[in-house]
Every structure is written in structure tokens, then in C-alpha cells.
Structure 1
Amino acid sequence: MGNIWSKTSNDNNVSTNDQQDDKNAPRIGAKRPASASTSTTDETISDPTLKQKKKKYTKYSKKGRKDKRQVDNRSYGTRKEKEEDTDKNVGEQHDSDKAAVGESKGPRIPKIKAALLVGYNGTGYQGMQLNPNAASIEGVIFDALCKAEAISKDNADDPRKSNWMRAARTDKGVHAAGNILSLKMQIPPHIPDLVEHINSFLPPQIRVWGYVQTIRSFHSKNLCDSRIYEYLLPTCAFMEPIKQELTDHPQFEDDLVIANKNLEHTTIKYTPRSSPEVIKKRHDYRATPEQLLKFKLAMKMFEGTHNFHNYTNGKSFKDQSSKRFMKTIDVSEPMYIHGSEWVKITLHGQSFMLHQIRKMISMGMLVTRTNTPLHLIPKTFEENRINIPKAPALGLLLERPIFHIYNTKVRTKSEAEREEIDFDKYKDRIEQFKREWIYDKIFDAENERHIFDGYLTSLDAHYGPDYLYLNPEGVIPEECLVKTKFNSNANAATKQGGRKKKKDSDEEVEEEEDGQL
């Protein structure tokens, strides 16, 4: 319907001139001047033409309002009928779906917010965190929980529906004697021992120790106070470097690739793996008391709050998240496994960044084996960016996350249905698992694949300026500074040279480090 004040196509009494005159016609309902009469009769209008126009407008307005109400009523009726039909169809569909789903899903089981205590050997997995394109520890555990009916069928298609979260994320090949997963979990009443039922769907290298009902807002990552890691290191890492032969072409199929990567030019060379004599020499090596003491002192220098931007990837010196607090770092007395000498480093920190522990271990080992003074380590917390190699992932394991504040609140409130998160309840089982599936596997892998031997060989064969900071003076030369976007000096040098990289990603920094190893 058009404008109710305009001429309709059926009205032949209004001419085109009338339409022009309408612009000057008085508006119905307009306020009169104070001097005008307040009478409502047509006698107050002297022009009879205006009287006729007024009647026409009144006629149109009444008719228009009436027609509009009729159209609105018809529209409302149509919408209402459609809504009723839609609701009816949806209701029928919902009832049919409900009946069909009810038969397959069975009775509803109440859920609890829980902390799941787990342990695992990370060999063969791409890390802890769920990854749809790779095998992960969490992926295997989630599937086992679904099969064991600990996760409802409604939530089985997406872990996020269960508020899935881990306390600590471990990298590829890293193990854990204890870790925590928080999730909404159901306890089927017809399963007498849910933990054993879950473990029946897991491989022996992944175990569930137990579960604890928590507060509904429990978040395993945010409520974790700190984490304790262990690193097992053979003391042959303290041996003096052995000079290696470099060639432009591989001599054997298993030669190690040594890359010298820089912004200007990248070269690749090859070095053979250690001979049986060198492998036996490293296997039988025993660290001197002086070496053990220096390594212990070196690791103690990481305690406290420092800027660890040199011990991770993709973090600048000015990034506040580069600062981390290390509570304690202790080095054990030597222990002897299969005739080889090892030490265990226990690191208790508030939180750790990617590769941080492996780089800390490597730096402590490097200053010990190269006669570099300990005062180099505090310089690595400064702005200059250097290349620190990563120690092998083989020796690293997560001992357990700590929930001291949460446990204290639980004890204070004395809530009967809440328990503390305590791995010590399963101490015997965890220690047995560590011996069989972590420690023994680490030692066997070293004896079979000589991972630490390859790591030391690649360090000794390295060429280029990257490690020139390992010197008797403990100074960091300009030549060994890594030039990335995270280094202000490198940015200045890049601008002066008139070159600027379009992309300097974390992956590129990663490649530089891997190339040196």
C-alpha cells in the first residue's frame, strides 16, 4: 500500500494541479495560530476549495488507516499460523528424535568436575596436547574415556564440551610420571572400578592413576601453582670436546648433517657418527668432582626470577612473559645404569616456556665441558640474543604439577565431597611405572640409538661463530649474536644494510637452532 496521503489511481476527481496545490494545503491536525478561532466547523475556512480538499484528505486517512489495520491483521494471522505450524512440526520432530536418541543413549548419568591423574611415556607421540592431525597422548586418553563411558556420548565428538584442559603441556617425546587433566566426567554406577576400566582401553605406556572430584570452576592450568621436572643426563656430556672431521659430501648413509645457517649464506657439511671406540669411551666415562661441582653451581644460577628469552623461541627481551621464576634446581649424586654414569636434575619452577629446560641443561653442560666461566650465564639473561642448542628430549620428564593453594583451600573449607590433588596416594605405582616405562626406556634408547652421543658429536663438529661465547673470558662477541626481529641490535643492523626480512617466524629461529645440533 502506498502513502495514504497521496492520490490513488482510482481517484479521478483530483487533478495534477491539485497535487501541486497540496503542497500549500494546511496539514490536518496542525496547530492554529493564536489569533485564529478555535471553532471546528467548516465556516472557519473561507476558501471552499480547501474545504473539499480537507474532506478528501480525511476520507483518505480514515480509509488508509482502516486498510492498514486489515492488512496488519491478515499479516499477523499469517505469521501466527506459520509459527503454530512450525512449532507443531518442530515438536513432532523433537519427540521423534528424543525417542530415537533415548533408546541409543540410555539413562542420563550425572557428571562431576574432576581432576584426572595420569602418567605416560611420550615416545612415539607428537606431544601431550590434542592434535587432530597427529598422534597425541590426550587423544588416546580421550578415546579411552569415551569407550569407558566416563565421557557421555553427547560430548564424545568434541573434548571442548567436557571443558578439557591439561596442567602442563609436554613436547614431542617428553614423558610424565604425573600430569593432570581437568574435565566434566561421568561416573557410571554399573562399573565398579572406573580407573581400571579406563586403563583397559589404554596402551601400557599410558596410565590413569586416579581421579579427584573438584570444585566446578576447577581449571588445571590456571590453578596449578608450579611444576616439577626431571632431566636425566649422562656425565659423558662433561667430557672435553672431540674434534670432528667435516666433509662436503656424506661418506656414510647415517652421517650427521651439520648446517651453518645465517642471513647471508647457508652451507651444509657432514660428519660421520662416533666410532665404537668413542662410544665406549663416553659410555665408561666418569665425571670428576670438579666437573660435578661446576655443573651444580651452573644450574643453581638459574634459580630465581630471570629473563629467559634466550632459552625459548619467539620471545623478545622486552616481552614480560619471558620472565620466569625458578624455585629450586638440584643435581643428584651420580648413579650408574648399565655401566654408564648419569645425574638427575630436578627443576621446580612456577612455569616453563617451550624448550626452556632443555636449553638450560645444555648451557650448564656447555660451560662445564668448555672451561667457560660461570659468569657467562647471567649475561644470557640480558638483551643480546644468542643461539643456545637444545639438549635431547629423551632425558626430560614431568614429575608432577603442584596444586598447593588449591589443596589448602580444600582443607580450610573442610568440604567432605572434595579431595586434595595428591600423587603420593599412588606413589608405589608411579615409581614402578617410572622405572619400567621411563627410566629403563631412556637408558635402553641411549644404548641402542646413542642419542646423547650424536648430540655431543654434532656440537663438536659445529663450525661458524654461533658458539663463540664459550671462551675462557666468558664474554659474548658481536659475531655470535643472532639477528632476528626479537633483537634490537639486529633490527638496527638490518636497517643500515638496507635489507629487511619479510618474515622472521618462530619456525625460522627453530631451524637455526636445529641446524647447529
Structure 2
Amino acid sequence: MVQVFCGSSTSRNRNTFTRFFSPQKQIRRRNCIVANSSSSFQREQQRTIRGISLLNETDNKNVHPSHVLCPDDFMPSPTDDEDATKFELPRKKIPIALVLAYVGDTFKGNTQNVMLPRGSTVDDVIEDAIYKAGGILFSNYRSKGLSRLKWSRSSRTDKGVSSLFTVVGLRMEAPVRAYGGGKEVVGEEETNDEEDERKSSSRNRSSKRSEEEEEEDDAEAKALIVEKINRHLPTDTVKAFACFKATKSFDARRAAISRTYEYLLPLKCLRDDKNGELEMFREALKTFEGSHPFHNYTKRGLYGAGKGNDKNRKGGRGNRNKKNALTEDDDGLGETSSSEEQELEEEEEKELPKRIETSGKHTYWLLEKDVDDLVHVMHYRRIHEFTCSKEPEIIEGFESYPFVRVKVYGESFMLHQIRKMIATAVLVALDSEETPTMPLSFIKASLCRPCRVVTPMAPPLTLFLTGAEFMSFRKTNHEEKTRAAKAEEEEESEEEDDKETEKGKLRSLTISEETKNDIDRFRREHLYPKLAESFSNQDWDFFIENVRNVEPTREEYLNIVKQYESYDEMRKIRAKEKEEEEEEASMIEKSLL
């Protein structure tokens, strides 16, 4: 059997692709492609055909067999376009922003991974559903990294993490009528009688058009797109809620300016709040607010100029940005990997810079710069708000598992960051004379460049994305323009925006009240029951046991806090001196003038 897997693109084989896979000849060539393993088709093996590689079964060991396409299974039938579950014709490829929600307990993340079985990630399920609905052509289906679809995500999540508001950006074959299109096409050669007849019929339809205008110009395209996609989705696990028309430059990750996550923490992790642990936990969360380097709350080597990026710097700026794009906004991703543990072991083998150590192998205060473990600007993040519910809550049907709701609102988050911050706050809340752990003052020290500490990590079972804010859709022009031309263009764009606002068609990613209610219903009926079931998971018991058995003693933590206080005082003195120098230079400059 000859198999097909989507790969990289080459333009020199477009004619070959058309000969074998053009929609007009797919059905006629079908038997020849599958049955005849000899002659011309066999000669095309091992060649790339406009992004589709023809491979033998023994090739491409890094790709799971379920991702490999068999032409016999994916050739469309003549009645496909008449299927009620497909988008209506005509269709046009346009950039769209799809709003969806999913329960993450059955997925191994939302990002495509060809090494896992097909359907293991949310990307797989969504792409398959859009393809079955007619929104993706066979030539663009299952491309490497979904690059042919210009696929982007507002946030990346891994195994066990859910979402109520993830936006996926892609180029999709959408019904022309979905966003106010579908106007009547007139032939080039038209007689006067035909033209009069067309105008007359157009006037007769004007009243009908006004009645159907809201449905046809639906900004969220619920009837024409969303409902069709949902017919091919397991809506109790993954569901689409809205589909907006975006601009060509739209990138969901870059367009998201803030994100909000919630985490349901079982009250037993805080000793059932017997000694005021909840209030201390709330105070610890507040300490994280603001802009800080969160290098101790992620895998440092994945960001900036740390250990993991030396090879990227050799590869040039493009490769470095590519790696950061893969790891940035990995909100609440997976578990500690073996590679991370290996890097920690490698630290012991190399010659280390001067530092104040503790009994914990990887908790210390640097007295000089460590060139192999630098804190970079990419480690900085801004958290606007980090709060906890005032009183414990319960989910109906699971009254024996009280929990507190943790809510974090920030611009973006790094790998493991949210779960590590929550676990550290739990560690601080458990600090007492009977069981000394980590003092509250150490959190500020951990958010300082010279400090290095391996922080604990909470389970991913009850972490989920609840919302995101986006910039308005806007067009970009990469051509250089004069300031006068730019000013003129801004004035024209403002006038166009005003007109669109008057018509109610301003393209922005703002969901309607109806969609908000639908998402809230999905939360109550599908997400919460799954989260409540996870409260009985043994991972919570392991977490409680591990978080209490910290390696550094409380006195050693306080010793690092003293170093931080001296460091912070020195920074303030330097900042004051710099300010005085700038004022003096400014006065000298004024006197010379």
C-alpha cells in the first residue's frame, strides 16, 4: 500500500500534483493510484509533490502511522459537496479566528504532535472536523506543523489542561455567504433585456435580503460555519462557539494581549484551613503581582540566552525566534521532563561560579554572573492580578471535595509558571513552627536575578484557561511609506472604521452574550464534572507529600533572604546615584544652552 504524508513544499512538482490529486481527476485516477503500485505512480515515490510526500510504510519512523494518509480513504466522493454536514458552496479561502473550548483530560495537549497517535491533541481533532466540513482542501490537509493553513493558537496547553476560550487562527475555505458575501455574479455578455430582468428580480428580493441580513452577516457565523464544524466534533469534549473573519496578518498568539487562568485547589492541600493557611496562601499569591523575572518558575533553558539557546544563537536570529515562538505562552504545560533532570545533573559536573549554597542541590545565591545560566529579558512576565476565593467552594454532586478557586490574570505565561507559583504559595502557607517550610519573604528573593531555586509544581488536573483579550483586527502594510502617506491612510482608515461601526460590522474578537452563555453552559455541564472527578486523584496526595519534604531548611531560606535584602539595598543606592547623575548632566546641558 502506498501512503501519503504531508510535508514541506516544492514548487517544481506542481504539475505532478495536479496530475494525481486535482479534484477533477481524483475520482477517475482513484483506482490507478491505489491499485497500480508499478508504472508511473511507483516512479513518483520518494518525491515531494507540492507538500505531499509519497512514502513507503517503512519510511518516516518519527511519524506515527495514524498520521499517514491513504489516498483510497481520503478521496472525495461526487456527492460530498451536497452533504448537509459540509459548508455550502461557493467557498473562498479566508483568514478566520475560531473560538473553541475543550476538556483536556483526554488530550495530550492542544498542539499538533505527529509522534503521538492521531487524535491525541486538540489540533488533530479540530483540523479533522474542519476538513470533514469542507473547510480544508486535501492538498492542505495534515501539513507539517499545519503551516499550509497558517495555523496559530492564542495559548498552548499540555496534558490535563483544559480551556474555555482558546482562539485558533487559520486560512479556511469558508462559505462566501457567511460574512455578507454571495452577491449575484453576472456574465460578461448580457443583453439589455436580461439586465432589466436582473434589476427587477433584485428589487423584488431586496425586502427578503433585509430580513435575512442579520443571519447572513452574522459576525460569529454560527449557522453557516460553527454548527457544521460541531457536527464533526465530540461536543462533550471539544466544541466551537464562534468563527470571526480575521485579517491576513492575524496571528492568534501575538494578537492576545492578556490571558486569564483559573485553578481549583483542593482545600486539603491547605490543611483544610485549620490554622489560617488560606489567608497566608492569598498573601503569597499577591507577592507575584507585577513585572518580575520568573526564571525560577519555568525551565530556564527554553527562554532567552539561557543554557538551551546557545545552538540557536549559532543558527541566527530566525532560529532563535522560532524556538521562542514554540515555547512562549506555554501556559501550564506538562510535567517535568527527563531532559530537565539531565540538565540539573550536568550542572554538578561543570565548574560553578561563586555562590552561597544550601542543603538543597539547586537552591543557592549567585555572587557572580553565571554565563551558562543567564536571566534574560524573555524570563520577565507581568501579572496584573493573582487572587484566591474568600471562602471554599463546592461542585454539586462532589460536596465532599471543597476547594478554593485561584485566578491569575496576566499578559502571558511561561512553561510550568502558573503551577509552580501556586505550589510555592502552598509551601509558604504551610509554614509554621511545627512544620517549618518556606518563609513568605523568600518569594521576593526568588524573583531576583541572582537567586536560583527549584520550586515545586502543582498537578495540571484542574488548571484551565477562562478568557483572553485581543487586539482589534488590523491590516498591515510592509511597504515603506512617507509620513504624509501614513497620516492620510490613518485618516481614511478612521473614516472606514466609523462607517463599519455604524453598520455594526467592525471586525473585532468580541463574543456576544449568547456565546458567553453557551460557554458558561459548557463549563457547568462538561468541564466542572471532569474537574471534580480529578479531586480524588492520587496526584494530590503525592503533591501534598512532596511539597512538605523540601530540601533547604527554613534558616537557609532566610539566609538567602538576607542576601536579597543587601542586594536590593545596593540596587536602590545605584538607582539613586544614576538619577542624580542624570539630573546633574541635564543641568549642565541647560547651562550650556
The structural deviation recorded for 1:387 is 1.3
1:375-390 pair list within 5 angstroms: 375-382=441-448, 383-390=450-457
The correspondence for 1:458, drawn from 546, 558, 569, is 546
Offset from partner CA, 1:57-104 (integer Å, 9 cap, x none): xxxxxxxxxxxxxxxxxxxxxxxxxxxxxxxxx79x869967425986
The structural deviation recorded for 1:157 is 3.5
> Cα 1:471–1:208, aligned 2, differ >3 Å: closer, same or farther?
farther
The structural deviation recorded for 1:358 is 0.2
Match of 1:133 in 2: 115
The correspondence for 1:178, drawn from 160, 165, 168, is 165
The structural deviation recorded for 1:476 is 3.8
> Cα 1:412–1:153, aligned 2, differ >3 Å: closer, same or farther?
same
Match of 2:317 in 1: none
Q: Where in structure 1 are there 5+ consecutive unaligned residues?
A: 1-89, 240-284, 479-517
The correspondence for 1:231, drawn from 252, 263, 270, is 263
1:419 aligns with 2:486: no
Q: Are the counterparts in 2 of residues 366 and 470 from structure 1 also a CA contact under 8 Å?
A: no
> Cα 1:414–1:364, aligned 2, differ >3 Å: closer, same or farther?
farther
Q: Are the counterparts in 1 of residues 388 and 407 from structure 2 also a CA contact under 8 Å?
A: yes
> Cα 1:291–1:96, aligned 2, differ >3 Å: closer, same or farther?
closer
> What TM-score do you get using the length of structure 2 for normalisation?
0.52
The structural deviation recorded for 1:471 is 5.3
AA matched with 1:218: F
Identity over aligned pairs, percent: 28
Q: Are the counterparts in 2 of residues 469 and 477 from structure 1 also a CA contact under 8 Å?
A: no
Aligned length: 337
1:179-198 pair list within 5 angstroms: 179-188=166-175, 193-198=224-229
Offset from partner CA, 1:387-435 (integer Å, 9 cap, x none): 1111000121011221145599999555465432124531111112112
Distance 2:509 2:428 in 1: 39
Match of 1:374 in 2: 440
Offset from partner CA, 1:96-117 (integer Å, 9 cap, x none): 9674259869777212211000
The structural deviation recorded for 1:451 is 2.8
Match of 1:109 in 2: 91
SS class of match (1:209): strand
AA matched with 2:25: A
Q: Are the counterparts in 1 of residues 472 and 508 from structure 2 also a CA contact under 8 Å?
A: no
> Cα 1:404–1:161, aligned 2, differ >3 Å: closer, same or farther?
closer
Offset from partner CA, 1:294-322 (integer Å, 9 cap, x none): 11111011111001000001344421101
Match of 2:534 in 1: 445
Q: Are the counterparts in 1 of residues 111 and 122 from structure 2 also a CA contact under 8 Å?
A: yes
Match of 1:10 in 2: none
Distance 1:126 1:403 in 2: 26
Distance 1:444 1:470 in 2: 35
The structural deviation recorded for 1:458 is 3.3
Distance 2:466 2:452 in 1: 30
Q: Are the counterparts in 1 of residues 161 and 464 from structure 2 also a CA contact under 8 Å?
A: yes
Match of 2:244 in 1: 212
Offset from partner CA, 1:161-189 (integer Å, 9 cap, x none): 11111010012110001100001112236
SS class of match (1:230): strand
Q: Are the counterparts in 1 of residues 442 and 558 from structure 2 also a CA contact under 8 Å?
A: yes
Q: Are the counterparts in 2 of residues 187 and 194 from structure 1 also a CA contact under 8 Å?
A: yes
1:91-106 pair list within 5 angstroms: 99-101=24-26
Q: Are the counterparts in 2 of residues 166 and 180 from structure 1 also a CA contact under 8 Å?
A: yes
1:359 aligns with 2:404: no
Distance 1:407 1:369 in 2: 49
> Cα 1:95–1:428, aligned 2, differ >3 Å: closer, same or farther?
closer
Calculate the aligned-residue CA RMSD, in Å: 3.2
Q: Where in structure 2 are there 5+ consecutive unaligned residues?
A: 1-14, 29-75, 82-88, 179-222, 302-372, 433-437, 476-492, 563-593
> Cα 1:405–1:196, aligned 2, differ >3 Å: closer, same or farther?
closer
The correspondence for 2:393, drawn from 330, 335, 341, is 335
Match of 2:464 in 1: 397
Match of 1:269 in 2: none
Offset from partner CA, 1:31-69 (integer Å, 9 cap, x none): xxxxxxxxxxxxxxxxxxxxxxxxxxxxxxxxxxxxxxx
Offset from partner CA, 1:111-166 (integer Å, 9 cap, x none): 22110001001112111111112211111111111001122233224221111110
> Cα 1:424–1:176, aligned 2, differ >3 Å: closer, same or farther?
farther
Q: Are the counterparts in 2 of residues 286 and 341 from structure 1 also a CA contact under 8 Å?
A: no
SS class of match (1:326): strand
> Cα 1:459–1:98, aligned 2, differ >3 Å: closer, same or farther?
closer
Match of 1:40 in 2: none
